[in-house]
Structure 1
Amino acid sequence: MDRKKLHIGITGQSGFIGSHLAGHIRVSDRFELVPFEKRWFDADGELRHFAERCDVIVHLAGLSRHEDGDLLYRVNMSLTERLAQAAASAANAPGVCFGSTVQIDKMLPYHTSKRDGGALLAARLSGRSAAVNMLMPNVFGPYSRPFYNSVVSTFCYLAARGRTPETLSDVPLQLCYVGDLCCEILSIAGRAAGVPGASTVAIPHRYEERLPAVWEKLCSWSEFLPAASSAAGGKTAPRLDTRFDCDLWTTFQSYRPV
């Protein structure tokens, strides 16, 4: 490994945010990706070896949704506890940047696991390394899992298939594109390396949109998906007037039926 670069490991590397973050690191001249396998959570020696190779660990692994709220809480806390133990026992004292949510005050099992997980990491690590609680906004982007990661991914999936959502509430959305989120995370990780202490960083949203307007836009774009290109009269893309349009269109294309 190139020791001139900052070595970053990602738990949850195969997930939506984790896979995009890994892609950003691979093309960076400042960071180097330390590979991670989720089976290492069940192998203390492997998990500790992973921690020892990292300058900073971005902890994203865990459940976002589950019908059994108690199980969700236990799984998330168990993963965080195991990572905290590995990082605390590593001689190089890697920092940990914990993926949490701006909706941290909600009293649902997911949000409780984020509050308690952040407190656990701060208690176990902040004396000798960084423990950063990253409060992330609603995130959207290509290949996000519909009906799981975000309402935008669900709406993209439905619109691409000519289906309609069961509900369409006129609610505001504060959104962050996954590419922008990855840049923010890497900036936070760069500042956390070698700086002991607990902190909380709220990652800002970039867009504010209303749900019905997003749905209307997606429906108007459905004819431009490659699978329906013949119906678009030779057109390959809709008119994209804003950066949000560009990010949403990039996202929408990943949900075209195959």
Structure 2
Amino acid sequence: MKVVLTGAAGFLGWHTRLRAHAQGEHEVVPVSRETWGELASLVADADAVLHVAGVNRGTDEEVEQGNVRLADDVAAAVRAAGRPVRVVYANSIQDGNGTPYGSGKASAAGRLAALRTEGHTVVDVRLPNIFGEHGRPRYNSFVATFVHAVAKGESPQVTDRAVELLHVQDAAQSLLDALTTDAERLDPRGTEVGVQEVLDLLHEFEASYSTGEFPDLSTPFRIALFNTYRTALFPQRYPLPLQPHSDARGTFVETVRSRGGEGQSSISTTVPGVTRGEHYHLTKIERFAVVQGTATIALRRMFHDEVVEFPVSGEAPCAVDMPVGWAHNITNTGDDVLLTQFWSHELFRPDAPDTFPHPVTQETGA
């Protein structure tokens, strides 16, 4: 299915594009502010539109009317196609709550729903509060604000209340599910959690991870929140130094300490000049630790161009943890065999390996 994705460069849009790329079931055509003027021509030969673009900051009028105008543009592009097109709308549980944002989302939903009377399929996906990797503080989510504050050693003041939080990759899956559902509305559910509890968990993560130790990862919510947190630390806090203990017998280096959940460790040898990896993950927490030889660990965030590189050596043991959604590899740059330990937070499952091949270095924007 050829799918036009609006807001592809934004928080939810990037994650939706990433998940669709990993699954490989649809051809995704990304649309951003820069290419919005091409919307009608892009929809002309598409099977569906995932409408994720939205306005959530500005004056009351800018927020309310901005969301309506975006929906009007999408509706106009669908009508101009002259044939049935499926529209999936990334709506919000704030729809109709009386705020400018809620009113704008509700009006936008109504404009898109009108397409049903003209032979088009429209699916309204009501998303709760979403959080996840690469969220912008004071913009996308209070979780992003907390993450960046804790990373800087701050502790925000909070008014505690219960919230429903859905990780952005789960939100993205709901949008992709809407491409094939027979329902007109989907209501994905998140995890009920207290605002103070989220802040407490982030402080717990910082206390352990600042020493290189993995925190308790025994629940899906903890894993999702920890992935969100550690991504905000990348690349400034890496590599993580490891402490060698040497005596007359040799050297001992503790490469992984973990407080809970699953875990799997493996080692590999790599001959000079060879590169391993060239893939990315959606949820997996993975650590590379070189214990012998020299290497370069390279990473690139999907759909971005900049490559981050870390030269590492067994002479100065350190670890690099791979952020999700970043293609990564390791290359033996020395003259001897490279010995690397790999650790992931979960056991390897052949039926769901969460490993998607993709090169670190490739054409611009891919």
TM-score by length of 1: 0.85
> What's the counterpart of residue 155 of structure 1?
146
One-letter code aligned to 2:43: A
Q: Equivalences for 1:187-202 in 2 at 5 Å?
A: 187-191=177-181, 199-202=184-187
Q: Secondary structure at the match of 2:213?
A: coil
Paired with 1:122 and 1:168, the residues of 2 have a C-alpha distance of 38
Deviation for aligned residue 1:53: 2.9
Deviation for aligned residue 1:156: 0.8
Deviation for aligned residue 1:35: 2.9
1:177 and 2:167 correspond: yes
Q: Secondary structure at the match of 2:69?
A: helix
Q: Which of 32, 54, 57 in structure 2 is aligned with 1:65? A: 57
- Answer yes or no: is the 8 Å Cα contact 1:34–1:53 preserved in 2: no
For structure 2, the residue ranges without an aligned partner over 5 or more in a row are 237-366
Paired with 2:92 and 2:138, the residues of 1 have a C-alpha distance of 18
Q: Secondary structure at the match of 2:137?
A: coil
- Answer yes or no: is the 8 Å Cα contact 1:158–1:164 preserved in 2: yes
Paired with 1:152 and 1:201, the residues of 2 have a C-alpha distance of 24
Paired with 2:144 and 2:117, the residues of 1 have a C-alpha distance of 36
Worse overlay, 127-136 or 9-18: 127-136
One-letter code aligned to 2:56: S
> What's the counterpart of residue 53 of structure 1?
45
> What's the counterpart of residue 222 of structure 1?
206
1:9–1:148 CA distance, 2 compared to 1 (3 A)? same
Aligned CA-pair RMSD: 1.8
- Answer yes or no: is the 8 Å Cα contact 1:95–1:129 preserved in 2: yes
One-letter code aligned to 2:186: V
Paired with 2:2 and 2:141, the residues of 1 have a C-alpha distance of 29
Q: Secondary structure at the match of 2:98?
A: coil
Deviation for aligned residue 1:246: 0.7
1:216–1:96 CA distance, 2 compared to 1 (3 A)? same
For structure 1, the residue ranges without an aligned partner over 5 or more in a row are 1-5, 193-197
Q: Which of 222, 231, 239 in structure 2 is aligned with 1:245? A: 222
Q: Which of 33, 39, 42 in structure 1 is aligned with 2:34? A: 39
Deviation for aligned residue 1:78: 1.2
Paired with 1:53 and 1:121, the residues of 2 have a C-alpha distance of 19
Q: Secondary structure at the match of 2:164?
A: strand
Q: Structure 1 vs Structure 2: percent identity of aligned residues?
A: 26
Deviation for aligned residue 1:99: 1.1
Q: Deviations over 1:37-68 (max 9, x none)?
A: 42343x3xx221111232111111121122x1
1:239–1:204 CA distance, 2 compared to 1 (3 A)? closer
> What's the counterpart of residue 213 of structure 1?
197
One-letter code aligned to 1:172: A
Aligned residues: 235
1:90 and 2:81 correspond: yes
Deviation for aligned residue 1:250: 0.4
> What's the counterpart of residue 21 of structure 1?
16
Paired with 1:51 and 1:107, the residues of 2 have a C-alpha distance of 32
> What's the counterpart of residue 195 of structure 1?
none
Deviation for aligned residue 1:212: 1.0
Paired with 1:29 and 1:39, the residues of 2 have a C-alpha distance of 25
Paired with 2:70 and 2:217, the residues of 1 have a C-alpha distance of 42
Paired with 2:84 and 2:44, the residues of 1 have a C-alpha distance of 8
Deviation for aligned residue 1:125: 4.5
Question: Higher relative contact order by CA 8 Å / sep ≥ 6: 1 or 2?
Answer: 1
Q: Secondary structure at the match of 1:152?
A: helix
Q: Compare the two structures and name the one with the higher helix fraction.
A: 1
